[in-house]
Copies of this chain bind each other. A is one copy, B any other.
Amino acid sequence: MKALENKDIYLKYIDCLNSRRLDDIAEFAHDELTYNRKLITLKDYKDMLAENISDIPDLYFNIDLLVVNEETVACRLKFDCTPVEEFMGIRVNGKKVSFTEHVFYKLKDKKIIEVWSLIDKDAIRSQVSS
């Protein structure tokens, strides 16, 4: 079952992120991919993930919901973390925040070729301003 295989690939990808093995990211994503419709390189993708980890040293990807078919992975990710200063343009300044990401990935030849991500920035904003 290709869906089961895609699920396994995705779980390994998330483990790669959570164990900070960003040098292994090429195992999971193509040399060129789109992120929210923008064409980027694998290096851009790795740099973005490295920046997220730099912004949020305790960043941990918790899978809340995972739905997979033959070519697409849909995941609801939950984060409980502490951005040191700014994250996605929001000044969090060391406050602990909880938020979710709803993200879809298109896989091709067992690697990510397209990502569509929505992060609940309003949830972060409301926790920072409260």
Contacts and interface: CB of A to CB of B under 8 A. Distances in A.
A125 to B, nearest CB: 10
B68 A67 contact: yes
A67 B122 contact: no
Contacts of A104: 65, 67, 74, 76, 102
Copies of this chain, how many?
A: 2
Given A74-B74, A122-B121, A65 B102 contact: no
Contacts of A74: 65, 67, 74, 104
Contacts of A116: 65, 76, 100, 102
Given A65-B104, A67-B74, A118-B120, 4 more contacts: A67-B67, A67-B73, A74-B104, A121-B122
21 contacts: A3-B69, A65-B74, A65-B104, A67-B67, A67-B68, A67-B69, A67-B72, A67-B73, A67-B74, A67-B104, A68-B69, A74-B74, A76-B104, A76-B116, A100-B116, A100-B118, A102-B102, A102-B103, A102-B118, A118-B118, A118-B119
